[in-house]
Amino acid sequence: MKMTTHIPGRELRAFRILFVISALWNFAGAFPGLFDSAGMFASEFGRELTDPVMVAVYRGAWCTALLYGFGFLAVAYDPVRHSGVVLMGGLGKALFALNLLYMYLSGWTSDFAVVVIGGDVVFVAFFIHYFLRLRHHGHSLI
């Protein structure tokens, strides 16, 4: 089977939509996490966030999610060129989902964590599909 480096417009458009939605997903957590860290923490973990060091650490984690959101917007602009962002963001989502699942199964989080875990798992699955399609079209994965 001959591989091509051309990605059909319909598929390219689907990738762009995927990465805009990925960015919005990150922003949906990052903005409340940054601007109402205590409220977001209470939603996610069902307990108060009062230690100033933990507030800074928690806010820093959401800052990372915000940066990945902007990265996914760059990928939406050029899905072939910015595949490295998808690799890093996808690994981050997978590892975060696994860690949050562990915390959930340990009873450390609220049921809200299931939404976050499920969403990240769905995005990781779509990202794997994206890499498979890139490879099919003859592009390197990073």
So what's the pLDDT on residue 5?
Answer: 54
So what's the pLDDT on residue 1?
Answer: 39
pLDDT band at 122 (very low <50, low <70, confident <90, very high): very high
Q: Which two tokens stand for residue 115?
A: 């939404």
So what's the pLDDT on residue 6?
Answer: 75
- Tens-digit pLDDT profile for residues 52-64: 999 999 999 999 9
pLDDT band at 4 (very low <50, low <70, confident <90, very high): very low
Long-range contacts of the stretch 34-40 (C-beta < 8 A, 24+): 34/59, 34/62, 34/63, 34/66, 37/62
- Tens-digit pLDDT profile for residues 38-85: 999 999 998 999 999 999 999 999 999 999 999 999 999 999 989 999
Q: Where are the domains of the chain?
A: 9-136
| Model confidence, pTM | 0.88
So what's the pLDDT on residue 3?
Answer: 41
Q: Which whole-number Å values give the CA distances from 93 to 11, 19, 25, 122, 126, in the listed order?
A: 23, 14, 11, 10, 12
